[in-house]
Chains A and B, each alone.
Chain A
Amino acid sequence: MALELDHPVAAERSIASRLGPGIVTVASLAGLLAIWWVAAIVADSRVLPAPPAVVEAFWRDARTGELFFHLAMTLMRVAGAFVIAMVVGSAIGILLGMNREANRFFDPWLILFLNIPALVVIVLAYIWFGLNEAAAIGAIAVNKIPNVVVTLREGARALDRDLEEMAKVYRFGWTKTLRHVVLPQLQPYFAAASRSGISLIWKIALVVELLGRSNGVGFQINLYFQLFDVAAILAYTLAFVAVMLIIEFLLVQPFEAHSTRWRPKRARG
């Protein structure tokens, strides 16, 4: 009896594990979509459109090319600010992590910048530097830099002294040490900073566009807010989220897999 019962349970489990995490993701997203759809039907209101209305709004702006233009503008700002924030933030972070005196001096500055609201930075950037692209990208970058500094500072503090000594004895020199000893150790910290970075940056980018740019997803969302077109707002949001997911799967994850190929593989659960 017990044996008969055991058998189908084991088979079921193996089917579930064979279908893998891909199916789980799809099922989970489908569940979310279903809840939204049901809620929209129940509410029956302009402020909560059902999925087909959002698809229609997407198609309307996609056909004219308008949607892709605004997506591209936002993506350009996100990319520019991301590169600036990562380069400047990593350089400062590594420096502070390696130099105790500098860290003691600049730590209060860091706490100050970490706590300045994004909105204040954006407004001041526009007032001081004018309503232009440089001010917009600069404001996004300045919002992100303190987070990168904090993450990379931890990374630089955790650098392995033993390997540093080995590099010194074998006369690696500055560039060899940086490339083969220091940067690989910081890789997980770069990964963490860029993961949290991209998502934070694109949220701030929308506010920047809403306040002082005449294109981009943020500008469009403001426009549709004036028109009370919730379907279009959701269409733009979901389109940009989709772009970010594609970047994650096509760029970030393959790069991470490549740069961590030396790690012993963990057993899969």
Chain B
Amino acid sequence: MSNLSKPTPPAGGPSALEVEIRGKTFRGADGGDVRAIEEIAFKVAPASFATLIGPSGCGKTTTLRIILGLDPDFEGRLRLPEGGAGRVAAVFQEPRLLPWRSVEENVRLALPDEDAGRDLDQLFSILGLDEMRSRYPSELSLGLARRVALARAFAIRPSLLVLDEPFVSLDEQTATRLRKLLIDVWSARPTTALMVTHNLREAVQLSDRIIFLTERPARIRGIHDIVTPHAERDTRWRETTLSAIAKRYSGVL
């Protein structure tokens, strides 16, 4: 297995995420076929963070749904990271919490039965949810609800974490804080992660590998690897990297 990205810490699943989608077609409402994905093939090294970025409606979310097993009707093959419990966690665009269960219950329900009593104090405390454990989702702001969705994803200690624009429609200040929280929690126990975003800044800040997609039907436009550790990515570094990427992939900023 050849891997171009940086050497990875040993935690998380021992094998890479391998995605090879050779075609995905939707049946449109008028009966005609809409080709959503032409060909997308990439790998995400174990315990590294990859981002899919591309224009609106290019098939990013469709790719995630295929990986999550929510859309089994496609051509190609997938290899999910093995090891651990082989579990997959997802953070969707909407928090998707059960409104009739408290914050803590929402997180605990995702735990596998054998881990039902796991101590979640540390996770809730890192994410600043200590006071919120007995609240219902309707009492939370969108930013807090998203933190609960992150808590749920990390609570199950997944071998693959999938994030679909997890910080969309938040004000910039909240989004920045949540990105930092995501990196903190993720760094504490790195797991193979794949995120979809529109935001190149976000991608540069979080990822080890950025995969650029074309317009629909989606193909890979290019793959950019980042070797600088998260802790060393300061504002100046980010601006240089952004302009370098923007020069190479016009129109992505």
Contacts and interface: CB of A to CB of B under 8 A. Distances in A.
B66 to A, nearest CB: 13
A169 B162 CA distance: 10
B98 A180 contact: yes
Contact of B96 (A166, A184, A263): A166
A121 interface: no
Interface string B49-88: 0000000000000000000111000000000000000011
B76 to A, nearest CB: 20
B109 A172 contact: yes
Contacts of A239: none
A169 B69 contact: yes
B110 A262 contact: no
Contacts, number: 47
A169 B68 contact: yes
A131 B110 CA distance: 53
Interface string A131-170: 0000000000000000000000000000000110110111
A162 B70 contact: no
B87 A162 contact: no
A233 to B, nearest CB: 45
A263 B137 CA distance: 9
A181 interface: yes
B96 A162 contact: yes
A129 B237 CA distance: 85
Contacts of A180: 98, 101, 109
A192 to B, nearest CB: 17
Contact of B101 (A162, A170, A262, A264): A262
B99 A262 contact: yes
A172 to B, nearest CB: 7
Contacts of A264: 138-139
Given A169-B68, A181-B98, 6 more contacts: A165-B92, A169-B69, A169-B70, A169-B88, A184-B98, A184-B100
